[in-house]
Amino acid sequence: MQAPTIRHSLDADVPAITVIYAHHVETGTASFETAAPDETEMRRRRSTLVEKRYPWLVAVLDEEVCGYAYAGPYRTRAAYRHSVEDSVYVGSSVQRRGVGRALLDTLIRDCTDRGFRQMVAIIGDSAQAASIGLHRAAGFETVGTLRNIGYKHGRWLDSVFMQLALGAGADTAPDPPCPD
């Protein structure tokens, strides 16, 4: 399989993004949402992050969007402003073909270039071996698991927390320095 082209998403990509995400919501445990959002909601979510200068990427193969990834605030309180949470979703027809890794690697570089210092992955379900493996291969470390924290598809699910230092990580103060 050829390598996907990774680029910043466009508003025109939202229909494909919506379809990819709906599949994960309806059939899987990567997301703890139980009802798939429509295009209007996905467009709102994307524009909210893009307007705040967070990256939202798509993977393209044969001129079709086949996956997407984005970073958003890890938490909204000011002290967390140098940390991001990542999300990566790949279409079912291209899973395990390097699309997720290409998206995540590009997202890590983009967030590092934007000055973020920590990236957190909150993986729905400790049985998500592919997502955990993807993040581990990109350098993330498992830092904790919340057991039986969500209930979906008739079973209790864990949340696995993984973390990756970006750039200088916690070795130096952020630029500009955080006010106390």
Give the pLDDT score at 23: 97
- The predicted model scores a pTM of 0.95
* The pLDDT value given to residue 93: 86
- Residue 106 domain boundaries: 5-165
Q: Nearest Cα to 9, choosing from 71, 96, 74, 98?
A: 71
Which one, of 98, 27, 25, 29, lies nearest residue 66 by Cα? Answer: 98
Of the chain, the end-to-end C-alpha distance in Å amounts to 50
pLDDT at 177: 58
At residue 94, the pLDDT reads 85
- How far is residue 42 CA from its own chain's centroid? 14
CATH classification at residue 75: 3.40.630.30
Total of domains in the chain = 1
Q: What is the pLDDT along the chain (180 residues), one digit of tens a residue?
A: 689 999 999 999 999 999 999 999 999 999 999 999 999 999 999 999 999 999 999 999 999 999 999 999 999 999 999 999 999 999 988 888 899 999 999 999 999 999 999 999 999 999 999 999 999 999 999 999 999 999 999 999 999 999 999 999 999 998 765 554
Residue 178 lies in a domain: no
Q: Is residue 82 part of a domain?
A: yes
Domain-located, residue 175? no
